[in-house]
Amino acid sequence: MVDLKKISVFVFLAALFLMLLVGNASARVSIFNGTITEGDGYQINNYVIDVSSVFVEANTAVFKVYEGGELKKDTMIERNDSIAFDFEEGEMELRLLSVYGGVLPVAKVFITVSDYNIGNIYTSGIVDGGHEHATYSGTPVLEITKTVDKNNILVGDSIKVTIAAVNTGNDEAKDVIFTNPMQESFILEDIFVEPASTTSIDIGELKTIYVYILKATEAGTFTLKPTTATFSNNADQNFPPATSNTPKVTVEVLEIPKKTAVIEISTDVDSVSVARNDQITATVHLKNAGDAPASFVWIEIAVPEEFEYISGDDAIEIIGGVPKIYMDSFGPLQEKEFSYTLKAKTLGTYTLISKLSYEYNNDVDFENQKVSTESVTNDIYVQKGKYDDLYEQPVYIFVLPIVAIAVIGAWIYHRYKQYRF
């Protein structure tokens, strides 16, 4: 049994120790256990507990609690009594341990906090003269602006980037360190203003931090990376870094106008309907509507199998059975026509295709541009010829009359011979 009791005590102590170590919120932690002269105060962070009057004979004292200079509590308590009030996110308790007389009366107090992370206490101590002489710590707020003098530039052009910061908070920003990352696609060309490694910015102060020149090296729309700043307040309290805006810059490439050769090709025929075994004449029209001369101009006339190429302009050569036209060059605004004649062989609906290919130099690129295109005529209807119906008749339709005529002819000749002396 004894052993069990020993173990429980150890566990309790260990737990208590652990609670102290981690500053557990639920634990009550002692802040100050000492004497404060009447007229003085005790500051914890922005709270000041003034000991405004000490009544030795009555064993009482009047305490006034200020937060940031503002009176929050005004209470008189007796010896061994305590008052509690909200302290930031936790609760603070003030116990009056005793009062003493002297030149000035003194109150002995015990201040504890509970539900509070004591790591957050940055100031703690006696303030002579009370809250009126206390120094409060505030929250500096840095607003960083990043501006560019131009948002649209060409590759190779430069922009001036100005970064300024203004402290719109209620405390000085101290140990301010700006971070301005490198900007891809730009070269840092010149720097006019550069911040010191650390700086401080007073409340309401506007400071120009950076002024520098960036030169665009490539086209695109770029969002400049934000400039950030880390800082602390007078109480050396650190704040989350401030971030600037991110202006956009559009960089374009200056185009050198390119030249083109645009050969317009069209083919028309003298008649859209043709009788079989008749001929049609097709004309290929060419015009260079561009501003560059075309070279190596080939035109290939795709003659459907159902047609027979009869003749054409001298410029049309038959190469491998295909009518082709070749021109070394074909200048801007030049026009040309070529005609050829085909004979329709089979009934049906057809189109004639002229395939065009050529090259040109656009004056910018080293290599020639290659173009190929084709023109298609309207439908051409090959219809029955005048005597086609005859050709379609069965053979005997022709043979019989021919035989009959031959027989009659032979008979007449026979008779003629018979009666010719």
Partner 1 sequence: MLNILIVGNGQCGNRILDAVNKQAFAGKNKFSKFYSQQKFKGRVETIAVNTAKNDLKELKYTKAKDRIHIPHLHGVGANRNVGKQVFLDNKDIIMRYIEEKGNFDVAFVITSASGGTGSSFTPMLIKELKERYDFPVYAIVVLPFREEGTLYLQNAAFSLRDIRESGSDGIILSDNQFLKQLGGNVQSAYDGINDMIAERILFLMDALDSEMMMVTDLGDFKTVMSGGAGIATIGFYKSSKDVPVKTAIQKSLSPAGLLFSTDVYEEASRAMVIIKGDKSYLSIDDISNEVEKLSGAIGHVFKGIIIRNGVYPQVLAVLTLESTSELEKLYSIAVEAIHQERDKKTRVETEKEIEKAFSQINGLEPQY
| Stretch in the footprint of partner 1 (CB under 8 A) among 10-18, 63-71, 96-104, 409-417 | 409-417
Q: How far is the CB of 419 from partner 1 (least distance, A)?
A: 6
Q: How far is the CB of 408 from partner 1 (least distance, A)?
A: 9
| Stretch in the footprint of partner 1 (CB under 8 A) among 134-142, 247-255, 394-402, 408-416 | 408-416
Spatial CA neighbour of 49 closest among 72, 30, 77: 72
Spatial CA neighbour of 286 closest among 301, 270, 305, 274: 301
Q: Is 407 in the site for partner 1 (CB under 8 A)?
A: no
Spatial CA neighbour of 94 closest among 19, 44, 25: 44
Residue closer to partner 1 (CB basis): 18 or 412: 412
Read off the amino acid at residue 157.
D
Q: How far is the CB of 403 from partner 1 (least distance, A)?
A: 18
Q: Is 5 in the site for partner 1 (CB under 8 A)?
A: no
Binding residues for partner 1, total number by CB under 8 A:
9
CA pair distance 133, 155, nearest whole angstrom: 60
Question: 411: how many CB neighbours lie within 10 A of its CB?
Answer: 10
Q: x/- site string to partner 1, residues 298 to 327, per CB under 8 A?
A: ------------------------------
| Stretch in the footprint of partner 1 (CB under 8 A) among 13-21, 58-66, 269-277, 410-418 | 410-418
Residue closer to partner 1 (CB basis): 331 or 409: 409
Distance of CA 354 to the CA centre of its chain: 47
Q: Is 412 in the site for partner 1 (CB under 8 A)?
A: yes
Name the CA dihedral angle for 410, 415, 418, 421, rounded to a multiple of 10 degrees. Answer: -110
Name the CA dihedral angle for 14, 18, 19, 21, rounded to a multiple of 10 degrees. Answer: 140
Spatial CA neighbour of 109 closest among 46, 37, 30, 32: 32
Residue closer to partner 1 (CB basis): 17 or 416: 416
CA pair distance 293, 361, nearest whole angstrom: 8
Q: How far is the CB of 416 from partner 1 (least distance, A)?
A: 8
Q: Is 415 in the site for partner 1 (CB under 8 A)?
A: yes
- Say if CB 220 and CB 259 are below 8 A apart: no
Q: How far is the CB of 410 from partner 1 (least distance, A)?
A: 12
Q: Is 421 in the site for partner 1 (CB under 8 A)?
A: yes
| Stretch in the footprint of partner 1 (CB under 8 A) among 146-154, 171-179, 324-332, 411-419 | 411-419
CA pair distance 306, 381, nearest whole angstrom: 12
Q: Is 405 in the site for partner 1 (CB under 8 A)?
A: no
List alpha helices for 254-394, DSSP H.
Answer: 388-391
Question: Which residues bind to partner 1, rule: CB under 8 A?
Answer: 411-412, 415-421
